[in-house]
A and B are shown apart, each in its own frame.
Chain A
Amino acid sequence: MSDRSAAAVARSARGERVTALVIGLVLVLAGVAALVVGAGWVGTFRAHRPLLDPLATEWLAARGDLARVGALVLGLLALVLGLRWAAGALRPEHRPDLVLDREPGTRLTVTGGAVADAVRADAEAVEGVTRARARLVGGEDRPALRLTLWLREGADVRAVWEELDRKVLDRARTSLGVDRLPTAVRLELEAAERRRVR
């Protein structure tokens, strides 16, 4: 197993998961802190102080410009991070092209769609495969192939395995002239065949 092929199995949700977890924990801590203060566990006097404490507002007013700059920085930070978070979630997954020759002046690329179509057609010819979908994923300089195969009921998975590596992937590597093409294969077993509705 290589890291690149394992990473190509599915689009990563790590960024969104970490952000959601951090924000969730911050909200829990803030809520618990407010409940603790309200319950009087840090003093009954504190529990009956106003939410916007004059002590705090006076402290801020004494540092007027600093407080304003702080608020501006906080707002800009929220704007940038919020937009990045949303954009990361909304952006479609990157589909890189395959760069075969990086010599200056003779740059040769194969579009991701062309590679995917060729591999898909080869994969659909494998015995036992009813449908295939291929796509190049990953960064421009470290592309990987993601291949989804739907297998017919009763198909021999081990035979499909062998043919897949021997015919499809080997052919893709040879025809593209690369020695390595990290690949993630997703198998859907015994899926009902799609029927055309007339």
Chain B
Amino acid sequence: MRVLLRVLSALLGLAVAAAGALLVVEVAWAWARPDDVPLVVPWPRWRDGLSGVDWADDRVRWLAAGLVALGLVLALLALLARRRDVRLADPAPEVTAVTSPRSLARVVGHRVRAADGVAGASVTASARRVRVRATSRMLDEDALRPRLGQLVGEVVGGLPLARRPRISVIVDSPKDRR
């Protein structure tokens, strides 16, 4: 998201700058030589066109809806481009330590997959929450879930996290479907 925002910022910034430059050039040109044709932008044609379209026109409505959609995408992108780092306890004064949610998920995933009776697992993690979804062929949810919850708690507790995330474990087992 942050990379996308950076690329988009560069493109939009250049577009805004280009529009500003065209505005300056055309206004200055029209001011200096009112009787000449415009330099780059055929604005007299646009002006006549805009004078013939009213606000209730379908094209205007679609354009307005497009503006709303574009604005929402841009605002959403700005809000989503925040840092998702998982803070760790500071090892020393003037030292800040973080890890990535992916790292946390990887550590938990390795340990869960190595546990007895687990066929596979997917883990998603953030600073606030670790979700584990494990599959098992041999054991049902009642047998495996408390054990995995404890295991994940130990793994997470063994890391010097600044804030202990909530842990949720779901076990998917064919035994529960019978």
Contacts and interface: CB of A to CB of B under 8 A. Distances in A.
A69 to B, nearest CB: 9
A184 B75 contact: no
A108 interface: no
B74 interface: yes
Interface in B76-101: 76-79, 81-83, 85, 88, 90-100
B138 interface: no
B94 A5 contact: yes
Interface stretch (A99-107, A114-122, A131-139, A156-164): A156-164
B74 A27 contact: yes
A80 B67 CA distance: 23
B10 interface: yes
Interface in A170-198: 180-191
Contact of A68 (B31, B52, B64): B31
B140 to A, nearest CB: 29
A78 B5 CA distance: 20
Contacts of A59: none
Q: Which secondary structure dominates where chain A touches chain B?
A: helix
Q: Which secondary structure dominates where chain B touches chain A?
A: helix
Interface string A21-60: 1011111111110110111100000111111101000000
Contacts of B17: 78-83, 86
B44 to A, nearest CB: 12
A13 interface: yes
A87 B13 contact: yes
A74 interface: yes
B156 to A, nearest CB: 12
A9 B98 contact: yes
A68 B74 contact: no
Interface of B: 2, 5-24, 27-28, 30-31, 47, 50-57, 60-61, 63-79, 81-83, 85, 88, 90-100, 103-104, 106-107, 110, 158-160
26 contacts: A10-B85, A23-B12, A28-B71, A28-B75, A34-B67, A35-B65, A51-B60, A52-B51, A72-B24, A74-B20, A77-B20, A79-B20, A80-B17, A81-B16, A81-B17, A82-B14, A82-B20, A84-B13, A86-B12, A86-B14, A86-B17, A89-B7, A157-B160, A182-B95, A187-B99, A189-B103
Interface of A: 1-2, 4-6, 8-10, 13, 16-21, 23-32, 34-35, 37-40, 46-52, 54, 68, 71-72, 74-90, 153, 157-158, 161-162, 164-165, 169, 180-191
